[in-house]
Chain A
Amino acid sequence: MDLIADFAGILLGGLAAGTVLFIVSVGLSVTMGLMGFVNLAHGAFAMFGGYVIVLAMNRAHVGFIAALALGFVATAALSVILERSLYRRLYRAGELDQVLFTIGLVFVFIAATILIVGPESQTLQLPPALGGQLNLGFTQYRTYSVFLIGVGFAIALGIWLGFERTRIGAQIRATVDNRRMAESLGINVDRLFTITFAFGSGMAGVGGGLGAEFLGLDPQYALKYLVYFLIVVSVGGLGSVIGVYYAALLLGVLDFVLKLYLPQGGTMFIYALTILLLLWRPQGLFGRKEL
């Protein structure tokens, strides 16, 4: 194997993993930026969506794209119900209560998944069109990874345009910057938050499904990758789509390289880098607001 193919393989694998991290974490970043709510149950939403997508495909034989749409809608609907009934009561509470509440929620999700579906891990059957290898000219690589990178870029672009060019995007940016001022200007922050929470959770659900192929999908998913989602959000900066995109891709590539060359404890460097970065810039790489 030549050097370029090697390098491209590592880069593409890392970017694909980073793309999944981005799709899952972007909602968390925006909702944390808006409300300052420490939502440790975000990974549980990703898990829920992943299960809906995988089960819809494996048991009900729904098509891949339709299953992704179903996962988005189901996760968004569930998150709205939870937000309206429970989350709402804790917006003014301290971080400690929010941490406790969302950890409790994660336990409920994990136990419910074991009770309803079972403790075994689920496998995603990719549609044949995405199964094989793709010739990129300079190297051969898995079609699915290339597909993921493309989808992630499209989503990042879409969300960024939505943020910068639409009315609701402007309202979100205004509220992240200064919530009180935004409220006094007549922006309905409650409604805005419900919408972004639903959208963000829906995206997490889609991410859970898209990533199931190589991150795996079992009831412990809700906790297993939580630290990574939090790192992406805090490194990227709260409420910054671009920041989360760069942070996720960076983390994906770094993690891929370290797992390859330093399988024993190589992730240590990721934590060390995160600590240094947060000490240097507590607001993250692209954030305008302190965490």
Chain B
Amino acid sequence: MSDAARSAAPAAIAPRLDHPAARVLMRRHHLRWWEALPWLAAMVFYFAFPDYLGFGTELLIAILFALSLDLALGYAGIVTLGHAAFFGAGAYAVGMLAFYGIWTEPITSLSLAAATAAVIGLLSGLVLLRTGGLTLLMLTLCTMALLEEAANMARAYTGGFDGLPSLPIAPVFGVFEFNPLYANTQYLYTLGALLICFAFVRTLIYSPFGQSLTGIRENLLRMHAVGSPVRRRLVVCYTISAALAGVAGGLWAQTNAYVNLSVLDLDRSATVLIILILGGHGRLYGAFVGAVVYLALEHFLAQIYPTAWQLGLGILLVLIALFARNGILGLGETLWRRYGTRLDGS
């Protein structure tokens, strides 16, 4: 290579770093100020509504569960109707360990819940992710139903339909006890778990691995063509997603101090899907927005008007599927852009 060519190469690239697109790309993984807002809001909620911390805990768990689904569905494009399989696996892992007095320490229990769910995710992912479309939808649905029936059948260990009541959970760090009447510990403990999991997912998304997942979602053939190990990436992503769902399930079992078949049913899978789509999938904060909107509406409307709530939810889903395919965040972004360009124009 001649000297001229060697010196020309960096010169040709250097000006492009000033290009607006290059700046956006280089900074897109940087933390922005508004990313602190959800966590500030969570702390404000803790001090402002001490009577609603049980509800708050439920909300945080729903966010984590939806976040785990976002990794598989939003980023890698794995359309699944059986994500509750992993939530349930984590919940039953924690529940059975505690109920039979084998292991009650909460943080290590959560790791075991994650590991259990990850193993199931890995095994099912290795087999199921060969397929796609409707077959995959059916297979994930059947895997979840299979686990549910297995838990129902093994009633000697799982308590069957009645589940395992009053789980003894040891205090967090040996100090902070779970009090069923005041959910302070449960709330902060869940918030901590969510923060750690979120930081992990955020890092993962902006890593080359995360970028290749988006690539697989957007153009499978091209990713094959550039030599990306597509199947392996999908299986790893599915396993990580399963582990996170397992943590959410483990938190659910610990904070409620019971576990039953409801952690494994179609209802739970459908609800988490609805939460994620409502908020906006494939955008990291969709899980937060979706869970807050869905659970707030459910908490205040479903108790008073259960039928009207279901009707309203149904109509909302139909409208989202028809008109707002990117959820609330997507809708907000569109409106913001339209509003912004109008400002620029005037």
Binding site for B on A (CB under 8 A): 32, 36, 38, 86, 89-90, 93-101, 103-112, 114-115, 223, 227, 230-231, 234, 262, 264-268, 271-272, 274-275, 278-279, 282, 290-291
Contacts and interface: CB of A to CB of B under 8 A. Distances in A.
A291 B135 contact: yes
Given A99-B81, A110-B314, 9 more contacts: A103-B270, A108-B318, A114-B310, A264-B160, A268-B146, A268-B149, A279-B130, A282-B135, A291-B133
Contacts of B152: 264-265, 268
A260 B321 CA distance: 41
Given A271-B145, A271-B149, A278-B139, A264 B322 contact: no
A71 B199 CA distance: 55
B141 interface: yes
A100 B327 CA distance: 12
10 closest cross-chain pairs (CB), A and B: A104-B317, A265-B153, A107-B314, A111-B311, A101-B321, A268-B149, A108-B314, A291-B134, A265-B152, A271-B146
With a 10 A CB-CB cut-off, give which of B134, B270, B325 has the most chain A CB atoms: B134
B134 A93 contact: no
A108 B311 contact: yes
A104 B266 contact: no
Interface string B110-130: 000000000000000001101
Given A90-B321, A97-B325, A265-B153, A275 B146 contact: yes
B317 A271 contact: no
Given A264-B160, A275-B139, A275-B143, A111 B314 contact: yes
B142 interface: yes
B273 interface: yes
A291 to B, nearest CB: 4
Interface string B151-163: 1111100001000
B305 to A, nearest CB: 10
Given A104-B313, A107-B313, A275-B142, A99 B137 contact: yes
Contacts of B277: 96, 100
Contact of B138 (A90, A98, A101, A231): A231
A106 B308 CA distance: 14
Contact of A100 (B133, B160, B273): B273
A227 B145 contact: yes
Nearest to B320: A100
B317 A103 contact: yes
A102 B320 CA distance: 11
A89 B323 CA distance: 10
Interface in B71-100: 73, 79, 81
Contacts of B153: 262, 264-266, 268
Contacts of B149: 265-268, 271
Nearest to B310: A111
A95 B322 CA distance: 13
Contact of A32 (B134, B154, B318): B134
Given A100-B274, A104-B317, A89 B322 contact: yes
Interface string B309-346: 01101111111111001000000000000000000000
Contacts of A32: 134
Contacts of B139: 275, 278-279
Contacts of A89: 322
Nearest to B319: A104
A96 B143 contact: no
Contact of B318 (A36, A86, A115, A266): A86
Contacts of A223: 266
Given A267-B149, A268-B146, A274-B138, A100 B321 contact: yes
Contacts of A107: 310-311, 313-314, 317
A110 B313 contact: no
Contact of A95 (B131, B134, B315): B134
A274 to B, nearest CB: 5
Interface string B4-17: 00000000000000
A268 B131 CA distance: 22
Contact of A108 (B146, B160, B315): B315
B131 to A, nearest CB: 6
Contacts of B138: 230-231, 234, 274, 278, 291
A231 B311 CA distance: 27
A264 to B, nearest CB: 5
Contacts of B81: 99
B43 interface: no
A90 B261 CA distance: 34
User: Most chain-A CB neighbours within 10 Å: which of B73, B150, B281?
Assistant: B150
A227 B311 CA distance: 22
A267 B149 CA distance: 7
Contacts of B307: 111, 114-115
B107 to A, nearest CB: 32
A108, A265, A291, most chain B CB atoms within 10 A: A265
Contacts of B130: 279
A104 B142 contact: no
A176 to B, nearest CB: 14
Given A101-B321, A230-B141, A282-B131, A265 B150 contact: yes
